[in-house]
Amino acid sequence: MTGGAEARIPEPLATPLLSVDDVHAGYGRVRVLHGVSAAVEAGQLVGLIGPNGAGKSTILKAITGFARVSAGRIRYDGQDVTGVRADRLVPLGIAYVPQGRLVFAQMTVHENLEMGAFTVRDAGARQEAFSRVYDLFPRLADRRTQLAGTMSGGEQQMVAIGRGLMVRPRLMLLDEPSLGLAPRFVALVFETLQSLKAQGLAMLVVEQNAAQTLAIADRAYLLELGRNRLEGTGADLLANPETRRLYLGD
């Protein structure tokens, strides 16, 4: 760190933590992404928005090895991770929280979090991970013995996010964390993303809720039909008449 209170001079762009370069990807013979690029710098919150079917989830699946990449490169922290599966990305510091609040319904909240920590061998580190997640979501601490399948939708989303956080990731990939939640839980999800960002976690967030995402995003990408359509700071896209007309209901 170079310290001091003097005005900060913008540094030349560092190598991003994650970069998706001209990626073509799909499922079997179905092509979904036709040359998509995106980048996430360390500690940044980056939004991915666009209409249904644009390929937003497929980008996260391409990064985590669930969609097949036929061309292009995915790099993380200086390594080529193209085609590397999600379970092998975990030890590198990438957590993936898929769309649909996938929790182990027949396990308790605590057991669900424990599943997230399967790679954490050290007992002290595990304990620290539980404390961190229970501090972030006091509601989960209150309900640690409840079966996850009996929690509300919003609470299950906290379990899903909490599970991803158990390994202390540097980058979290979140697919529609606020989808289908009641307004107060939507607000809680966005507050959570902001506090995780304040703790230095980088995030790539796919969201339907474009306005709220752009409001907190350092950068955002608008996708359409498997291609990049617009990109800029969250504020740029929030002010862009085209984004406003197409996705923000102006």
Ligand X SMILES: Nc1ncnc2c1ncn2[C@@H]1O[C@H](COP(=O)(O)OP(=O)(O)OP(=O)(O)O)[C@@H](O)[C@H]1O
Among 16, 55, 154, 169, the residue binding ligand X under the rule CB under 6 A is: 55
Q: How near is the Cβ of 69 to Mg ion at its closest, in Å?
A: 18
Q: How near is the Cβ of 134 to ligand X at its closest, in Å?
A: 30
CA nearest to 204, candidates 47, 54, 96: 47
Q: Which does 219 bind (CB under 5 to 8 A by kind): Mg ion, ligand X, none?
A: none
Distances from the Cα of 154 to the Cα of 52, 79, 93, 125, 210, angstroms: 22, 35, 25, 27, 19
Q: How near is the Cβ of 52 to Mg ion at its closest, in Å?
A: 7
> Can residue 25 be called a binding residue for ligand X (CB under 6 A)?
no
Answer for the pair 134, 114: CB distance below 8 angstroms, yes or no.
Answer: no
Give the burial class of 6: count Cβ atoms within 10 A of its Cβ; 0-12 exposed, 13-18 middle, 19 or more buried. exposed
**Residues lying near Mg ion in the complex (CB under 5 A):** 57
The shares of helix, strand and coil residues in the chain, as percent rounded to the nearest 5, are 40, 25, 35
Q: Are strands 171-175 and 94-97 parallel, antiparallel or unpaired?
A: parallel
Closest CB to Mg ion among residues 114, 176: 176
Number of Cβ atoms within 10 Å of the Cβ of 49? 28
Closest CB to ligand X among residues 55, 65: 55
> Can residue 32 be called a binding residue for ligand X (CB under 6 A)?
yes
> Can residue 57 be called a binding residue for ligand X (CB under 6 A)?
yes
Q: How near is the Cβ of 59 to ligand X at its closest, in Å?
A: 7
- Tokens describing residue 35: 């040359």
Among 40, 47, 49, 58, the residue binding ligand X under the rule CB under 6 A is: 58
Among 52, 78, 122, 183, the residue binding ligand X under the rule CB under 6 A is: 52
Collapse the DSSP code of 33 into the 3-class scheme (helix H, G, I; strand E, B; otherwise coil) and give the result: strand
* Contacting range for ligand X; rule: CB under 6 A; set: 17-25, 27-35, 88-96, 144-152: 27-35
Q: How far apart are CA 194 and CA 188, in angstroms?
A: 10
Can you give the binding site for ligand X, defined by CB under 6 A?
27, 30, 32, 50, 52-58
